[in-house]
Amino acid sequence: MRIIKYKQKLKAFTLTELIVIMVISSFVIILSYSVVQMINHYFIRSSHSNTLNAELLGFRATFAKDLDQCDSVKHLPLGLILYRSNQEIIWTTDSNFIVRETIIKDEPTPFRFEIGTVKISSSESEYGGLVGLISFELLTDNDSEMVLRFKKSYSLETIVNRGIVTSNTF
């Protein structure tokens, strides 16, 4: 058996050089992982915010339309009833939902807006007994408070029909 001796040294990395490279690589991996987590968290938060804003826009548009088209409004302990000629629209709150129910000939059709903790308040108009100003106080997930206010204007026909003001007053 022959043993061959090499006169040249093999070029390679030392153990300390490999350890230094591994430490630097681990720092790069840790930093990149934390950046990915931060971007993911931002994406989730912004998508939740976008969903909430879409719900708010839908709620505002629907409620404003209902309020404009109704004849009168009555305040309930946990909501409102908007009266039209052939239907009633009931707006109530339920934990994190604002619920809209349309009752046409005793057939309710519920629709929910998931917004957050909601408190509905109202004040009477100058025509006594009719709701004039409606406020929705919303508390969102990030503990920010938002107040939406709606004002109801009544037609002269509604006021006269309710007997609040007589036609001789005008």
Taking only the tens place, the pLDDT of each residue in 89-146 is 888 877 667 788 888 766 667 666 666 667 777 776 665 666 777 777 777 666 667 7
Q: How would you label 101-123 residue by residue, b for 16+ Cβ within 10 Å and e otherwise?
A: bbeeeeeeeeeebebbebebebe
Chain position carrying tokens 């036609």: 167
Is 14 part of any domain? no
Task: Please state whether 105 falls in left (phi above 0), alpha (psi between -120 and 50) or beta.
Answer: left
The mean-pLDDT minimum among 43-57, 70-84, 139-153 falls in 139-153
Of residues 35 and 54, the one with the higher pLDDT is 35
Q: Stretch 81-94: mean pLDDT, rounded?
A: 82
| pLDDT for res 168 | 46
Is 8 part of any domain? no
Q: Stretch 151-166: mean pLDDT, rounded?
A: 60
| pLDDT for res 167 | 44
Q: What is the dihedral of CA 93, 94, 99, 101, to 10 degrees?
A: -100
- What are the backbone dihedrals phi and psi of residue 6, each rounded to the nearest 5 degrees, phi first? -95, 135
Chain position carrying tokens 């681990």: 26
Is 3 part of any domain? no
Of residues 29 and 7, the one with the higher pLDDT is 29
Domain count, the chain: 1
In the predicted structure, residue 165 carries a pLDDT above the cut 60:
no
| pLDDT for res 170 | 42
Q: Is-contact 103 88, C-beta < 8 A?
A: yes
Is 13 part of any domain? no
Is 149 part of any domain? yes
Angle (CA) 64 126 100, round 5°:
25
What tokens appear for 113 in the block? 């807006």
Task: Please state whether 48 falls in left (phi above 0), alpha (psi between -120 and 50) or beta.
Answer: alpha
Is 42 part of any domain? yes
Q: What is the dihedral of CA 91, 78, 160, 66, to 10 degrees?
A: -10
Separation between Cα atoms, residue 28 and residue 12, nearest integer Å: 24
Of residues 60 and 167, the one with the higher pLDDT is 60
What tokens appear for 8 in the block? 């040249």
Of residues 161 and 29, the one with the higher pLDDT is 29
Is 12 part of any domain? no
For residue 72, give its domain range.
24-169
- Name the residue among 102, 114, 139 with its Cα closest to residue 58: 114
Is 31 part of any domain? yes
